[in-house]
């Protein structure tokens, strides 16, 4: 997810920004999994090979910015293909047109592990969106899924450029093959889903929300694939791309933002988990902190999912997905919190356990859902009636919390029965 700054070809992007054909504005960035602050830290390494790999990765990412707008045009014009997968081998070049076909939807498995891992990752992500969210590929119309493996030399990144998914092999010292992480693949492809729905602008809070949405569904695809409950999941993003010798849990932790890594080579995870620690950065620094401040909505989703209980791709995933569909290019944290609260009410009922969980989750990260702000009388004090109403609301809140605990226990039991049934089958 290392970000790109503004992309050349803004006139072309403006021409593609209309919502004709059922599509919203397309994002104008190369969305990469590797945060730029990690790559910049690696430029300071005492290891020459690590420095060179980091520099090559940053330069290649910058080069891609100039190509992105052209690829987006082809993506918008491509016909439906029912999510058909094709994997190409770049043979360690950075020239995508020269890549060779390695595996197609109807072809046999490859002898290349990376080819098969990319093929399977694209398929699991496609199947998740189709089976769980009833979405036909990234654009909702069957967009084909093309993947390119062995991109560049020691390329420490993976990215979705608006049309295709590209994987580096890593430097082999700190990072390994980027096809080996399902949540990374699903994260990047979800940028495509966001591109064809809300089109969240890639800077500031809307950009951080863009990154968070990709983390949410990247994690959900992995959880769905492993049939894990919210309690069983690790809620880590990119744990599988670190080499065995690298001390570091993952690129990000949705459960505990700011704790994913802490070592001499890549520094300390800078993500905040509440609005009180929101990091203000200019647009030329990680596009205003899109990879940093995404920790706040990430934590809100984790809290929502664990409060609701059971499997997170059901109620929590549907709430977030519906909120994404209702968002716009400039939606920020507060508006998205309001949208998730409203969608929870629409899907599961006003005052439901699910809506209550959403409200509490956002409050925990420092965002008060606007729909829950009580009407103001303009008086400084409060009457006895106000006090009785407050006491009644507090009692009701305790009752709802108790009911929530009972529902979570029941959902965990049902999930266990479901897994036992699958195992028996």
Express each pLDDT in 362-400 by its tens digit: 999 999 998 653 332 232 233 333 444 444 444 444 555
Residue 55: its pLDDT value, please? 87
Q: Is 203 a catalytic residue?
A: no
CA torsion sign, 352 to 353 to 358 to 359?
Answer: positive
Which whole-number Å values give the CA distances from 100 to 88, 107, 128, 316, in the listed order?
Answer: 5, 14, 28, 40
- Distance of alpha carbon 74 from alpha carbon 59, whole angstroms: 24
CA distance 284 to 413: 49
Please list the residues that pair with 236 across neighbouring strands.
253
- 3 state SS of 242: strand
* Contacting residues for 277 by C-beta, under 8 A, at least 6 apart: none
Summarised one tens digit per residue, pLDDT across range 165-190 is 999 999 999 999 999 999 999 999 99
Q: Say what the pLDDT of residue 403 is.
A: 52
Q: What is the mean pLDDT of the chain?
A: 82
Q: What is the pLDDT of residue 62?
A: 64
Strands laid side by side in the 31-32 sheet: 31-32, 158-160, 164-167, 145-149, 85-89, 100-104
Residue 372 and residue 345 in contact, taking contact as beta carbons nearer than 8 Å = no
Q: Of these residues, 150, 187, 291, 353, which one is catalytic?
A: 291
Residues of the chain with pLDDT under 70: 1-30, 61-80, 371-425
The b-or-e profile of 33-65 (16+ CB within 10 A means b, else e) is bbbbbbbebbeebeeeebebbbebbbebbeebb
Question: Domains in the chain, please, with CATH?
Answer: 10-289 (3.10.170.10)
Q: Which residue has the tokens 């809506």?
A: 355
Residue 188 a catalytic site member: yes
**Given this model, what pLDDT does residue 79 score?**
54
d(CA 223, CA 221) in angstroms, rounded, equals 5
- Of 188, 322, 335, 354, the active-site residue reads 188
């Amino acid at each position: 997810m290392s970000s790109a700054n503004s992309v050349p070809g803004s006139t072309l992007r403006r021409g593609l920004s209309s919502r004709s054909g059922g599509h919203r504005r397309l994002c104008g960035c190369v969305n990469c999994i590797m945060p730029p602050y990690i790559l910049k830290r690696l430029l300071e390494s005492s290891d020459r090979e690590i420095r060179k790999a980091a520099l090559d990765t940053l330069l290649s990412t910058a080069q891609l910015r100039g190509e992105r707008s052209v690829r987006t045009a082809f993506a918008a014009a491509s016909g439906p293909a029912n999510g058909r997968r094709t994997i190409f081998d770049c043979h360690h070049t950075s020239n995508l047109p020269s890549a060779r076909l390695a595996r197609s939807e109807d072809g046999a498995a490859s002898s290349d592990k990376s080819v098969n891992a990319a093929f399977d990752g694209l398929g699991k992500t496609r199947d998740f969106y189709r089976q769980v969210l009833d979405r036909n590929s990234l654009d909702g119309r069957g967009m084909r899924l093309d993947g390119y493996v062995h991109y560049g030399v020691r390329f420490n990144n993976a990215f979705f450029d608006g049309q295709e998914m590209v994987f580096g092999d890593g430097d082999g010292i700190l990072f390994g093959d980027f096809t080996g992480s399902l949540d990374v693949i699903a994260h990047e492809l979800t940028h495509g889903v966001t591109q064809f729905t809300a089109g969240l602008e890639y800077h500031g809070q809307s950009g951080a929300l863009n990154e968070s949405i990709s983390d949410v569904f990247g994690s959900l695809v992995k959880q769905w694939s492993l049939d894990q409950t919210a309690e069983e999941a690790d809620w880590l993003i990119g744990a599988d791309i670190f080499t065995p010798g690298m001390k570091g849990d993952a690129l990000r932790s949705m459960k505990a933002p700011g704790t994913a890594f802490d070592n001499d080579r890549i520094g300390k995870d800078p993500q905040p988990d509440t609005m009180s620690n929101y990091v203000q950065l200019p647009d030329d620094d990680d596009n205003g902190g899109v990879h940093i401040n995404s920790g706040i909505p990430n934590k809100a989703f984790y809290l929502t999912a664990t409060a609701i209980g059971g499997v997170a791709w059901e109620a929590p995933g549907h709430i977030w997905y519906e909120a994404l569909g209702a968002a716009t290019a400039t939606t920020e944290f507060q508006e998205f919190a309001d949208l998730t609260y409203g969608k929870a009410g629409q899907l599961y009922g006003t005052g439901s356990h699910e809506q209550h969980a959403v409200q509490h989750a956002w409050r925990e990260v420092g965002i008060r859902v606007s729909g829950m702000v009580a009407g103001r009388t303009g008086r400084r004090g409060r009457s006895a009636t106000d006090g009785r109403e407050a006491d009644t609301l507090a009692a009701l809140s305790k009752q709802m919390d108790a009911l929530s605990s009972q529902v979570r226990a029941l959902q965990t039991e049902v999930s266990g029965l479901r897994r036992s049934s699958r195992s028996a089958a």
